[in-house]
Amino acid sequence: MAQTPDSILKEIRSKTFQPIYFLHGDEPYYIDSITDELEKRVVPESEKGFNQFVLYGKDIDLTGVLGYAKRFPFMSERQLVIVKDANKLGGIEQKEQQARLEDYALNPLKSTVLVFCFHANADERKAYIKAINTKGAVVQSKKMYDNKLPEWVSSFCQHEGVKISPKAIQMLVDNIGNDLKRLSNEIRKIMVNLRVDEGIDAGAVERFVGISKEYNVFEFQKALMNRDILKANQIATYFSANPKDNPLSPILIILFGFFSKLLIAHTSKDKSERSLATELGVNPYFVKDYLLACRNYPLPKVANIIHYLRESDGRLKGLDGVSISEGELLRELVFKILH
């Protein structure tokens, strides 16, 4: 059975190592994180020159990799062999080569930790991957769904030992999206600039991530939520004047997510804070915002807004055959939402 990235990281941090890892998927963050943890822990720093090898798929074939894997460590308990860009590895698609890897995977050298960093989704039904999973670990690193990002940021900060406010989480998620590597880097950048006893709040995100205090997606959504016509139009105008830093496509995705949740909030029978937070997949801190938005936008209006958002997405992609700037499209959309 394939293991999760988090369970594997937990194992490695407790110095429990598998003889062979096959890390694959379209989310590089976990592939890199697991590899980094193995580099920190498998071979002591003083022995890395003799017992740690980093190979690249474009420069070597599978036979060469297995040659490294079958060596014994030099005066050490273990050696680490990492194959980066393993999806480009010579022979990885050849049945004869796969059979050799399958044979090795079923009887791996216990003193070698062999790591394949396969930066693409692999077919886990293949015999050699099944063999790896028998004696080692197969880990798929998938792109994270947007609704899971707040929970991921919260968990990441907890592991890093820093508190973060719900508003700060939402600002990071809204402005960075599901790029886990960038999210983790931005959080660490904030942490470096904090006092020991200080947590991450909205002000810290504004200062250190470079998000405008007044003109960001979080404040834009809030202005629409409050039906604040002046503020929403000010932010839309700012976005229109800075399209490179504020592309329309991610804004539409965020607004579609918000109004889709508003539709759920309207039709939910149990409107208690706990129940709605669970149903919407949001922090309970934000439930009051959705209840306010429900009052500002009746159910038929929400259905219309979702139609406007889909329509705007189609026009942005040129499906109506009419050329229109992103700024014009956004201002038109804001008018339809608010009136």
CA 287 to chain centre: 24
Domain shared by 333 and 251, yes or no: yes
Side-chain-side CA neighbours of 227 within 13 Å: the count stands at 14
Structure tokens at 71: 């060596």
Q: What pLDDT sits at residue 334?
A: 94
Backbone angles phi, psi at 324, to 5 degrees: -145, 140
Domain shared by 150 and 108, yes or no: no
User: Of 183, 209, 235, which residue is a domain's last?
Assistant: 209
Taking residues 52-56, what's their average pLDDT? 95
For the beta sheet containing 137-140, the strands, ordered from the edge strand earlier in sequence to the opposite edge, are: 52-56, 79-84, 112-118, 20-24, 137-140
Q: Is the pLDDT of residue 1 over 60?
A: no
Say how many domains are in the chain: 3
Q: What is the CA radius of gyration of the chain?
A: 25
Domain shared by 136 and 79, yes or no: yes
Range of the domain at 153: 146-209
The pLDDT confidence band at residue 147, using thresholds 50, 70 and 90, is: confident
Domain shared by 185 and 64, yes or no: no
pTM: 0.71
Q: What is the pLDDT of residues 253-279, one digit of tens each?
A: 889 999 999 999 999 888 888 889 888
Domain shared by 39 and 62, yes or no: yes
Domain shared by 60 and 112, yes or no: yes
User: Of 109, 140, 171, which residue is a domain's last?
Assistant: 140
Q: Nearest CA to 89 among 117, 54, 62?
A: 62
Q: What is the DSSP letter of 164?
A: B
Q: What pLDDT sits at residue 2?
A: 58
Taking residues 206-212, what's their average pLDDT? 82
Which CATH number belongs to the domain containing residue 327 in this structure? 1.20.272.10
Q: What is the DSSP letter of 72?
A: P
CB 79 within 8 A of CB 44: no
Domain shared by 221 and 190, yes or no: no
Domain shared by 233 and 315, yes or no: yes
Domain shared by 136 and 16, yes or no: yes
User: Of 140, 164, 183, which residue is a domain's last?
Assistant: 140
Taking residues 10-20, what's their average pLDDT? 94
Which CATH number belongs to the domain containing residue 167 in this structure? 1.10.8.60
Distance CA 37, CA 34 (A): 5
Domain shared by 151 and 134, yes or no: no
Domain shared by 171 and 247, yes or no: no
Domain shared by 100 and 163, yes or no: no
